[in-house]
Amino acid sequence: MPTNVLVAYGTTNGSTAEIAETIAEVLREDGLTVDALPARSVPSAAPYDAVVVGGGLYAGRWHKDARRFVRRHGKALAERPLWYFSSGPLDPSASERDIPPVPGVKKAMARLDVKEHITFGGCLREGAKGWVARMIVRNGKGGDFRDFDQIKAWAARIGQELTS
């Protein structure tokens, strides 16, 4: 049974980090040892028995730190159970229906035999970094569309798979 899990994430404004921490909390409740870390700070995926990688979506692309992590650690990731998540839509659509992975994530999934991908709603608040993000918030299109019940349920399925 895998016991040591990495939840690596790419985030700009912290929303994806909060999703990753929620996933890690649920997995810990299942008795797993879990590190939730910014993807750019992970020296190696080799010490982990299973990995979850998440990235915020920006203009239809996964966060650059998540993309680089998957490329840099591909060999180790190919040898262990692997799940992906994306966060992004600034509307309730991710809670209402399954949103397929963006093309770049889909390609990375095929390369590494990812068990599952899910897209969660995003969050963009006042004070967001980046010109485009600030414009979105200023135009009233920001907000928090993350569904933490959905996030916890997905993490619980992963925990169940890893502990059974």
Let me know: does 154 contact 85? Beta carbons within 8 Å: yes
Mean pLDDT for 29-39 is 97
Q: Is pLDDT above 70 for 41?
A: yes
Query: How many C-beta atoms surround the C-beta of residue 132 within 10 A?
Result: 12
Residue 77 φ then ψ, to 5°:
-65, -35
According to the model, what pLDDT value does residue 129 have? 75
Q: What is the pLDDT of residue 1?
A: 62
The CATH code belonging to domain 4-163 is: 3.40.50.360
Give the chain's largest Cα–Cα span: 49
Q: What is the pLDDT of residue 126?
A: 72
Q: What is the DSSP string of 133-160?
A: HHHHHHTT--EE---HHHHHHHHHHHHH
pLDDT tens-digit series, residues 62-90:
999 999 999 999 999 999 999 999 998 88
* C-beta separation of 146 from 87 below 8 A: yes
Instruction: Name the one residue in this structure whose structure tokens are 């203009």.
Output: 59
Q: What residues have CB less than 8 Å from 117, skipping those under 6 apart?
A: 83, 84, 85, 86, 101, 105, 109
